[in-house]
Amino acid sequence: MELQGIYGSIALWVDANAGVCATVRALFGAERTEAAAFAGPRELAVELDAPALDAWASAEHYATVLQNAPQRSNLTEASSSGRALGADTETDFLSDEQKAAYLDGIEQGLGRLYARVVGAVRAADPHFFWAASASAWVLCLPDAHFDAPDDRALLNVHGRALLRAGTGTVLVVVDDVCELPSMSAALTVGARHLAERDELARMHRRLIAPRGPRDAWGALGAVARGALAQAWRNTSTEVLETWERAVSDEAAVRRGEGLSPWRRAHERHALDPRESASVIDEQMKEALDRLKNASLIGRALLAIIRWARDLSGLSVDSEYLVSALTWDTALAADVIRMGDVIARDYPRVLERATRSLPWPAARPPEGRLIPPDAGHAWKPQVAEGALARALAKARPTLGLELEGLGLETVEAAAPRIAELVYRTFAFELKRAVDIGDDGVSYTVMHTAIPPQVAVAED
């Protein structure tokens, strides 16, 4: 009997006036399996005894007092009187110690209430829990329990109390969004949480686990490092090719071939042989400035996204992910750091190499380089003789130095990029998970189903 991917969802709602806890349960994904007979939804009203109702009344009173406090934003100051929370008025306040003790008492009482409800539901339908590969208990609470300005301490009390009843997974939602008495929205929230959790675990295994304990991001971290290293390698190659073209062009100018495109664009018609090195430096600073403004991380991201898409089966907008770089302060700092390497360190290395080159003798008279005819087309130049040999000798060493300067930035940036990619794919996964055989997509982005406001798992 194959029951994987069948999710049990049980919604709870306390009706103190009727003295019951209303429950409804349903199996998602069981409709076309052997567990279809237990799919539901099925309702069960569990009667509450006096102690359980007293515990619920205490929680309600606690939430109401805090919600109606005249100075919600400074409850600590208002509680300095140290008076205990009483049933006679809604303007009494607790000290921090008294509040903690009062919450402990509420938690114990709610623990007995939820244990009674969970036991009754399990006893009423054991086959439901045998059929489910995982189950979530969704507790529907009144608005006041969410609005109490106590940093959600009361929500945590509910969650812990329900966990101690042996539920395994607890979700807490606002009850006024649920479609009572069926509470179908709450059931869907529970099933969605389990489906997303399983899909996230599978995606985690695909993107991270295959790498093993290399680092926290596993294979994804390795791919991020590799993509950044490749981007730096390509950048270094591009820089060297640009430098060699600039050197070859300037050498041709010295041989009397005419004006190079860069000299023509900058109206550098006169030749001073002593300025050749500075002309190359100016050209490279312009080229590197353009390269600096193109995000090297953005280039690497495209390769990482392709890899993650293939493994996860999810489709993520590359442009969105690249733009997300600017929203992350740490990654924005990495972009700046990489730009600084290109704008500051690369010119220094290239300037040193340029000044050591054996330049050919200048043939045009100094200061009298005459521009060629307007129709003259500049042909790609090739270094010759000693200059060509010097460039060939310098290239391997320069490539290693330029690439090494870039790789210094990789170790810090790679895990942050891996986290950004994983976070984005996880978000896309949540949007893609679809629960419901009626063909209705219960994606949080497109329905009124509430966001998960509290989760507790054992």
Is the pLDDT assigned to residue 144 strictly greater than 80?
Answer: no
Phi-psi region of 450 (alpha: psi -120 to 50; beta: other; left: phi over 0): beta
pLDDT of residue 73: 39
Q: For residue 11, list its beta bridge partners.
A: 24, 138
pLDDT of residue 129: 72
Distance between CA atoms of 357 and 408, rounded to whole angstroms?
28
Percent of the chain with pLDDT over 90: 20
Give the number of C-alpha atoms closer than 13 A to the C-alpha of residue 327, restricted to the C-beta side.
Answer: 7
Terminal-to-terminal C-alpha distance of the chain: 27
Give the pLDDT confidence of 31-63 residue by residue, as tens digits: 665 555 566 678 888 888 999 999 999 888 888
Hey, which of 28-37, 189-198, 293-302, 397-406 has the most confident mean pLDDT?
Answer: 397-406
Point out the least confidently predicted range of 65-69, 135-139, 230-234, 320-324: 65-69
Give the pLDDT confidence of 64-96 residue by residue, as tens digits: 776 665 444 333 333 332 333 443 334 345 566
Distance between CA atoms of 206 and 418, rounded to whole angstroms?
14
pLDDT of residue 69: 57
Confidence label for 352 from pLDDT (cuts 50, 70 and 90)? very high
The string of DSSP codes covering 318-346 is HHHHHHGGGG-HHHHHHHHHHHHIIIIIH
Residues 151, 431: contact at Cβ < 8 Å?
A: no
pLDDT of residue 347: 94
pLDDT of residue 86: 42
Give the pLDDT confidence of 266-323 residue by residue, as tens digits: 988 888 888 899 999 999 999 998 887 667 888 888 889 889 888 887 777 777 877 7
The string of DSSP codes covering 285-326 is HHHHHHHHHS-HHHHHHHHHHHHHHHHH-----HHHHHHGGG
Q: What is this structure's pTM?
A: 0.68
pLDDT of residue 215: 72
pLDDT of residue 379: 78
pLDDT of residue 431: 65
Percent of the chain with pLDDT over 70: 76
Give the pLDDT confidence of 147-182 residue by residue, as tens digits: 666 667 888 888 888 888 888 788 888 776 565 556
Of 252 and 96, the structure prediction assigns the larger pLDDT to: 252
The string of DSSP codes covering 221-281 is HHHHHHHHHHHHHHHHHHHHHHHHHHHHHHHHHHTT----HHHHHTT--S--GGGHHHHHH
Is the pLDDT assigned to residue 140 strictly greater than 50?
Answer: yes
pLDDT of residue 213: 58
Average of per-residue pLDDT across 121-127? 84
